[in-house]
Amino acid sequence: MTIEFPLVINGRWREGAARQGQDVLNPATGESIGKVAHANSTDLDEALDAAARGLVEWQGVSPWQRGAILKSAADHLISDIDSIARIITTEQGKPLAEAKAEVTRSAEFLEWGGEQARRIAGRTLRGRVAANRIEIETHPIGVVAAFTPWNFPMALAAKKFAGALGAGCSIICKPSEETPGSVLALAKALLSAGVPPAAISIVFGRPEEISNYLIPAAAVAKITFTGSIPVGKQLAAAAGRVMKPVTMELGGHAPTIVCGDVDPERAADILARAKFANSGQICLSPTRFFVEESVFERFTARMTEHAKAWRVGDGMDPKTQMGPLANERRVQAISHLVEDARQRGAKIAAGGNRIGNRGFFYAPTVMTDVPENAEILHSEPFGPIVPVLPFKDENEMLKQANGLEFGLSAYLFSNDAARQRRLTDALHFGTVGVNEFVTHLPEVPLGGWKESGFGTEGGIEILSPYQKTKFVSVW
């Protein structure tokens, strides 16, 4: 078997002990671009041993120097941005310009984590009697097991590497088997910059087998996952059984409120770009469009125009505005949500169909008259679908907006300051974008409320999920 996407364990790039693997597909063609290696328990034991040694070695590198290494890794990514972006587009599907933006954002995360490493500090308190001094020390939490998805295969891993490595932890990452090249490129940049080989392992395989093995492993101290709510719950439960802390960045279903006081065409222009970015496969994507009745017709007409004119194609073509969905599962899931809504009486204003029979393309879709019981209004769509829902009564709309288990992001379009304040206060979400879409910036802590997650990533606290404190009392 030829392996184009190997495991990386202790600095060795190699196939798995059982010499097994799976095809990696280009979503624009549906054809294989190579095979990704699968790890078995022998490989995972090797990764665990390496990570335990890597932890000691990396902890021995001063935070100042760790910062320099992470900054250098960021520079490696940027100097190789064109070829890395082509890897992302080939295995994930997004247009090349979006792939380049992802590489830039990944580099920014590494740089930010490195900068925060240089600020690691403890504190001292005076004890309750003069002879006593209290020291509060900050330590790396230990070996991190990270599970990362396919939608931003590099950036969502880079966030975790930036926090974990910045804090002084070693990390074993299991990226999505569907997009292995992106994280391998990240590992290459980190190793070239000087992260000790034992401190980073990349393993692929059967996701459930790997998480079942790594989470209870004695060497692992922290679990971090980005993906769907159901899988997040499984992993958090497994971590709970062995009392290990988790960070969970899970799905969303963002209410997007367009008030009557804004220019509805301008709101539709902004929201079409937001919605069709990465073919709608963004956890922060706007997904339920509540539009005030007075501007409903104009908003829907403009959004429909955009959906019909949006150029869908291979992400390698510079004219492409939206690439394919990432895999056949997504095409099936989106087709199901659209059919379900149609059968319940929704009207399709644009799209509503798969495009062609090669690759995983789905048309940008706008629907109206979507009944409250349609599945799309309850399940995270993760695709290019715009259900437009007119509203008259703000309180009724808010009940619906806040009424799901999701609490990741929400959007509001209004120029009325009092209304902006009232609605941003009333929305039960970890992120609220007013008059614009929101992306994850390194300088901002991002995390979901309710079932959308646990903990945050990014911000001045980017290292915190990977740190523990020690209280030392000196007499």
Interface with ligand NAD includes 233 (CB under 6 A)? no
Could you say which of 194, 207, 260, 459 contacts ligand NAD (CB under 6 A)? 207
Nearest to 442 by CA among 107, 165, 71: 107
Annotated catalytic residue 91: no
Annotated catalytic residue 339: no
Interface with ligand NAD includes 382 (CB under 6 A)? yes
Strand partners, 134: 125, 473
The one-letter code for the residue type at 55 is L
Could you say which of 7, 283, 341, 346 contacts ligand NAD (CB under 6 A)? 283
What SS3 class is residue 13?
A: strand
- DSSP designation for 5: B
Interface with ligand NAD includes 364 (CB under 6 A)? no
Cβ–Cβ under 8 Å, residues 12 and 136: no
Cβ–Cβ under 8 Å, residues 252 and 448: yes
Could you say which of 251, 324, 364, 430 contacts ligand NAD (CB under 6 A)? 251
Nearest to 324 by CA among 381, 271, 383: 383
Nearest to 170 by CA among 75, 294, 93, 66: 66
Interface with ligand NAD includes 246 (CB under 6 A)? no
Determine the interface stretch with ligand NAD among 3-11, 43-51, 229-237, 370-378 (rule: CB under 6 A).
229-237
Q: How far is it, in rounded angstroms, from Cα 72 to Cα 180?
A: 22
Determine the interface stretch with ligand NAD among 74-82, 108-116, 228-236, 301-309 (rule: CB under 6 A).
228-236
**Least distance in Å: CB of 433 to ligand NAD?**
16
- Binding residues for ligand NAD, rule CB under 6 A, total 21
Strand boundaries in 298-403, DSSP class E: 347-350, 354-355, 361-362, 365-368, 385-391
Cβ–Cβ under 8 Å, residues 440 and 408: no
Interface with ligand NAD includes 455 (CB under 6 A)? no
Interface with ligand NAD includes 260 (CB under 6 A)? no
For the chain, report the end-to-end CA distance as a whole number of angstroms: 63
Distances (CA, A) of 247 to 222, 227, 406, 446: 8, 11, 16, 11
Nearest to 205 by CA among 458, 20, 42: 20
Catalytic residue among 15, 169, 283, 292: 283
Interface with ligand NAD includes 208 (CB under 6 A)? yes
Interface with ligand NAD includes 470 (CB under 6 A)? no
Interface with ligand NAD includes 227 (CB under 6 A)? yes
Span 324-343, contacts to ligand NAD by CB under 6 A: 329
Residue 384: count other Cβ atoms within 10 Å of its Cβ: 27
Interface with ligand NAD includes 88 (CB under 6 A)? no
Determine the interface stretch with ligand NAD among 54-62, 221-229, 254-262, 295-303 (rule: CB under 6 A).
221-229
Q: How far is it, in rounded angstroms, from Cα 144 to Cα 164?
A: 7
Classify residue 121 as exposed, middle or buried by CB count within 10 Å of its CB (0-12, 13-18, 19+).
exposed
Residue 242: count other Cβ atoms within 10 Å of its Cβ: 12
What SS3 class is residue 160?
A: helix
Interface with ligand NAD includes 249 (CB under 6 A)? yes
Interface with ligand NAD includes 231 (CB under 6 A)? yes
Interface with ligand NAD includes 439 (CB under 6 A)? no
Q: How far is it, in rounded angstroms, from Cα 445 to Cα 455?
A: 9
**Least distance in Å: CB of 172 to ligand NAD?**
12
**Least distance in Å: CB of 214 to ligand NAD?**
9
Catalytic residue among 98, 108, 111, 249: 249
**Least distance in Å: CB of 101 to ligand NAD?**
16
Site string for ligand NAD, 131-160 (x = CB under 6 A): ----------------x-xxx---------
Interface with ligand NAD includes 248 (CB under 6 A)? no
Interface with ligand NAD includes 29 (CB under 6 A)? no
Which residues contribute to the site for ligand NAD (CB under 6 A)?
147, 149-151, 176, 207-208, 211, 226-228, 231, 234-235, 249-251, 283, 329, 380, 382
Residues annotated as part of the active site: 249, 283
